[in-house]
Structure 1
């Protein structure tokens, strides 16, 4: 069994891979869609772009390619008990408004992927339902320019909240049911 890489490809690498495939989706939204799919219990498939983007014409990413690594690392991070899950966003040096826009795109993608995988509120804990509703509110928001330092602090808090919300939803939809099956 080969070693799974533990680092996501960069935002730029996924942007280049998306352009190479003529995908009309930003890297953050693509990663959000993949994570929504996985968090809702969608299969970890090598042909994930076709499923996650609901386009059967999309090819299978080559093994070891940036798009393949995006899937393998994301799936491994969601399963990791040390909470190492990361969001794919522009690098820290990018303008805050750009990072905020990407975070909102990430949330939109997450909701789409979550819905495509059949995720719904019926099997969620109260906290999970709240987290899903919060992600939906973020997906409807628009970034605004303001005080750069305050915006950076607020964005860091929101990023952390989104990260934890995704892990909570994954726990409700994937880890919890898996654990219950083992007990029965």
Structure 2
């Protein structure tokens, strides 16, 4: 069994790597769906740690499967996602198949990611009506429309640029939703207090 993913803590986790771990753990959830769920949960201000976030998303590994190093990769996924969301440089990227994968696979993963995001947001317990501005509410409605989509593929070049546009919309939308719904990180709260 290849467990090389456990020994490279510095590189970003790939969609393929996460997919492999999820299959080995028999979670029954796709990589994009899981990353979307985690992102939605964190955007909504859901409280979790690298150790308990799966339980917060109502996922449990099969006790019969030796989770070992795979759980460390999932803990790192949590830390990476949280750090990206809190990065003022807008480093956030939805976790999707690599660019060399077929367009259909990447588009389907984007739909799964949006479905996961909406589910994770629901599990965070945030009151969306109270938390969101008009723009934020519209972005969330658009995420819902994407989650309910099934893409048709006609023109490869046009479809590719459309996917890039939707991906950028989601990336920027996530950052806006996070800024509106999630509480500021503890450092920002204490810094804010010291100014007054």
Normalised to the residue count of structure 1, the TM-score between the two structures is 0.87
> Matched residues in 1 for 2:155 and 2:59: separation?
41
Equivalent in the alignment of 2:111: 104
Q: Greater CA deviation, 164-173 or 65-74?
A: 65-74
> Matched residues in 1 for 2:118 and 2:90: separation?
21
Instruction: Give the Å deviation of 1:146.
Output: 1.6
Instruction: Give the Å deviation of 1:55.
Output: 3.7
Instruction: Give the Å deviation of 1:6.
Output: 6.9
**Superposition RMSD in Å:** 2.4
Structure 2 segments unaligned to the other structure (5+ residues): 1-8
The size of the alignment, in residue pairs, is 179
Structure 1 segments unaligned to the other structure (5+ residues): none
Preserved CA contact (<8 Å) 1:13 1:66: no
**Partner of residue 131 from structure 2, selected from 123, 126, 139:** 123
Equivalent in the alignment of 1:34: 38
Instruction: Give the Å deviation of 1:84.
Output: 0.5
Equivalent in the alignment of 1:17: 21
Equivalent in the alignment of 1:145: 153
Bigger radius of gyration: 2
SS where residue 182 of structure 2 aligns?
A: helix
> Matched residues in 2 for 1:61 and 1:39: separation?
28
Instruction: Give the Å deviation of 1:25.
Output: 1.0
Instruction: Give the Å deviation of 1:114.
Output: 0.3
Instruction: Give the Å deviation of 1:145.
Output: 1.6
> Matched residues in 2 for 1:177 and 1:125: separation?
20
> Matched residues in 1 for 2:178 and 2:34: separation?
18
